[in-house]
Structure 1
Amino acid sequence: MNGRERREEEVRRLLAPPGLRLPPDVLPGAVARGTRLRHRTRALRRLLWLLLVAVAVAFAVWAAATEPWHRPPLDVSPVFTGG
């Protein structure tokens, strides 16, 4: 056994200790829990994207309606300086 094989064997022993067995009903529960978590995460991500699009559309509608880039009209007339 060379050095590489010895290191691989040590890593295998550390990652899978002998005698550690899981009950047979753990895997389906973990899969179901992971699936629910993935669905919740996906739904939350879609909701946030929908909220972002709604905010962008609301901002575009507000900007088109109020035209904030135009200067407001003057309420007073300019001062007359001519003779």
Structure 2
Amino acid sequence: MNRAEREAAARRIMEQVPPPVPPDLYGEVVRRGARSLRRRTLARRLMWLLLCAASVAFLVWAMMARPWVEPPSQTTPPYTGW
């Protein structure tokens, strides 16, 4: 199929009358869209809640474990009584 044939086929398709849309299709699409929007909103809120809970858990762990502090030396006991 060369370019002219493809263009002619495309013109024939575009000149055809589009098929009629069922009358109840709009209501169904709106209902599905609203349901999809509710699910997306719920998922977004759950992800924010999970992120906040993980942040709080990390902060509590960091304050209790203090990973930035050097651990005390275990190799040499402290010598007192000079």
| TM-score for the superposition, normalised by structure 2 | 0.70
What is the DSSP-based 3-state SS (H/G/I as helix, E as strand, rest coil) of the residue aligned with 2:22?
Answer: coil
Distance in 2 (CA, whole Å) between partners of 1:27 and 1:52 is 37
Q: Shift of the alpha carbon at 1:18?
A: 2.7
Long gaps (5+) in structure 1? 1-13
The RMSD of aligned alpha carbons is: 2.2
> Runs (4+) of structure 1 moved beyond 2 Å?
17-20
Distance in 2 (CA, whole Å) between partners of 1:68 and 1:19 is 68
Deviations 1:24-69 (A, max 9, x none): 1111011000100011011001111111111111000000011000
- Match for 1:59: what amino acid? F
Deviations 1:62-82 (A, max 9, x none): 00011000000111327x9xx
State, as a whole percentage, how many aligned pairs show the same letter. Answer: 42
Distance in 2 (CA, whole Å) between partners of 1:73 and 1:19 is 80
In the alignment, what sits opposite 2:17?
A: 18
Long gaps (5+) in structure 2? 1-13
Distance in 1 (CA, whole Å) between partners of 2:40 and 2:50 is 15
- Match for 1:52: what amino acid? L
- Match for 2:39: what amino acid? R
Cα distance change on mapping 1:19 and 1:77 into 2, 3 Å: closer
| TM-score for the superposition, normalised by structure 1 | 0.69
